[in-house]
């Protein structure tokens, strides 16, 4: 029998208190067309056997293709031990570890994750993950707005060479928070942010500058000059970075004279497979002095009454289960299983292994760029140094080229004309450490034949 805590009298009293007649009035912002939506297109329920057959068929559609798509989701080698360990029952069933005495293993793993992620980013503090990279950026912007001592409306510089999906999520979340998102265009010749373009905002009361590294086009930004400009103008610096690239490039904590203030991004490259769109997780690091304003879980290490090491959730006064509406953080979904896999992944590879992966990615992308430049009609769009992605221009419609490559079981790249129509028929192509010289040659040969 269901437990219903409120009598009809209780319900009517609560409705009268807030000044409405019926519960449906609480949802009057939902269009009537949605309330009466036709669901005939939704199929009826499936049996376990039918569902299993369907999922196996879908898996075959996704698998077995040669993938050169990056654009925020990357194919990396994942040691077999990673998910063998992460799939143990102790990790699969673990949730938010409020009861520290019963969750020491989970808490220790999360503490080690924070330590490794903070080290990789060159920052002082890390939380225990967020939902994904895009929402992590939105939380970083909200964090910057809280940290700002300016009385004016917060204003954030958002570069157009930031991932377009990140910009869309940022607008959806932050756009409702009375925060100005100011578009910062990229240099049409290099695809990067130029320091000169920032001078147009010198007289504006800015809160934060977002710096992607690498940017969405794969290019390496001049992060020292950009972060120095931000701090010289009393503007916070938010880094949005690829964690694999940070094993090779200068980490955010070392940018410029002071380092970035907040670093965030997508953790998928660290041991999370491409799985039809997710799940992924977001990471967020910052200066230690910003801890009170950091969203999400933070695990700390302490000692008990007997002097033994113990791990606990700390600074919980920021959380909604402690202070409700007065909380700094309202993030519950911390993607614990994904973080578990990433912690194991980073532990197995170590700093040297992560650097080797990053070097292999760059080597393969450089080889890919050389092969593509030899094809008549293909030209690189931006001359700037890149990590493991680059933009090429095609002599034919990108959609047509991608369709022909797909027939050869090649996922040939990400078409940019939807989000960047000014670039015309261009592709963003990625090569990670998983690509062999033979596979790169096969892509080049297939492209040559497709364009002939």
Place of tokens 């990615």: 361
Q: What is the rounded distance in angstroms from the CA atom of residue 82 to the CA atom of residue 196? A: 45
pLDDT in the model for residue 450? 94
pLDDT for 36 equals 77
pLDDT value, residue 136: 95
CATH topology of domain 66-77+350-451: 3.90.1150
- The CATH code of the domain at 80-344 is 3.40.640.10
**Domain limits, CATH 3.90.1150.10, in the chain:** 66-77+350-451
Instruction: Give the chain's length.
Output: 452
**pTM for this predicted structure:** 0.89
Residues 6+ apart with CB under 8 A from 100: 107, 310, 311, 312, 313
The 10 Å Cβ neighbour count of residue 248 is 18
Q: Tell me, what's the pLDDT at 171?
A: 96
Question: Which residues lie closer than 8 Å to 141 by C-beta, 6 or more apart?
Answer: 156, 170, 174, 179, 208, 210, 238
> Which whole-number Å values give the CA distances from 260 to 121, 221, 229, 413, in the listed order?
10, 14, 11, 31
Confidence at residue 332, expressed as pLDDT on a 0 to 100 scale:
61
User: Which parts of the chain have pLDDT scores under 50?
Assistant: 1
pLDDT computed for residue 91 by the predictor: 78
Residue 384: what pLDDT? 82
**Which segments of the chain belong to CATH 3.40.640.10?**
80-344
């Amino acid at each position: 029998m269901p437990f219903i805590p409120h009598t009809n009298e209780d319900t009517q009293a609560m409705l009268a208190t807030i000044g409405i007649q019926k519960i449906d009035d609480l949802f009057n912002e939902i269009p009537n067309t949605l309330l009466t939506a036709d669901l005939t297109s939704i199929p009826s329920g499936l049996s376990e056997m039918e569902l299993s057959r369907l999922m196996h068929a879908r898996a075959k559609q996704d698998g077995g293709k040669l993938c050169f798509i990056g654009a925020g989701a990357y194919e990396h080698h994942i040691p077999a031990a990673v998910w063998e360990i992460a799939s143990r029952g102790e990790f699969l069933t673990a949730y938010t570890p409020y009861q520290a005495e019963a969750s020491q293993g989970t808490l220790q793993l999360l503490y080690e994750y924070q330590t490794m992620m903070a080290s990789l980013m060159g920052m002082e503090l890390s939380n225990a993950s967020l939902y994904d990279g895009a929402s992590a950026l939105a939380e970083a912007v909200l964090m910057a707005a809280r940290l700002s001592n300016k009385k004016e409306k917060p204003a954030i510089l958002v570069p157009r060479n930031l991932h377009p999906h990140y910009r869309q999520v940022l607008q959806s979340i932050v756009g409702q928070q009375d925060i100005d998102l100011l578009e910062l265009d990229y240099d049409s010749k290099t695809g990067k942010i130029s320091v000169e373009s920032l001078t147009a905002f010198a007289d504006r009361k800015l809160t934060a500058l977002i710096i992607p590294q690498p940017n969405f086009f794969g290019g390496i930004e001049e992060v020292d000059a950009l972060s120095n400009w931000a701090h010289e103008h009393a503007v916070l610096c938010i880094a949005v970075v690829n964690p694999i690239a940070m094993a090779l490039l200068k980490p955010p904590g070392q940018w410029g004279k002071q380092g970035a203030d907040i670093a965030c991004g997508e953790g998928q490259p660290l041991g999370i497979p491409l799985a039809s769109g997710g799940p992924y997780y977001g990471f967020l690091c910052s200066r230690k002095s910003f801890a009170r304003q950091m969203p999400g879980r933070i695990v700390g290490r302490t000692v008990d009454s007997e002097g033994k090491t113990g791990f606990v959730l700390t600074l919980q006064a920021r959380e909604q289960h402690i202070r409700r509406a007065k909380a700094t953080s309202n993030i519950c979904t911390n993607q614990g299983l994904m973080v578990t896999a990433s912690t194991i992944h980073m532990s197995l590879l170590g700093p040297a292994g992560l650097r080797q992966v990053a070097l292999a990615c760059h080597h393969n992308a450089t080889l890919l760029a050389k092969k593509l430049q030899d094809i008549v009609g293909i030209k690189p769009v931006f001359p700037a140094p890149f990590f493991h992605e680059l933009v090429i221009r095609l002599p034919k419609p990108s959609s047509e080229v991608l369709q022909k490559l797909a027939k050869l079981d090649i996922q040939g790249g990400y078409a940019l004309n939807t989000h960047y129509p000014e670039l015309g028929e261009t592709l963003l192509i990625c090569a990670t450490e998983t690509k062999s010289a033979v596979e790169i040659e096969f892509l080049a040969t297939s492209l040559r034949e497709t364009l002939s």
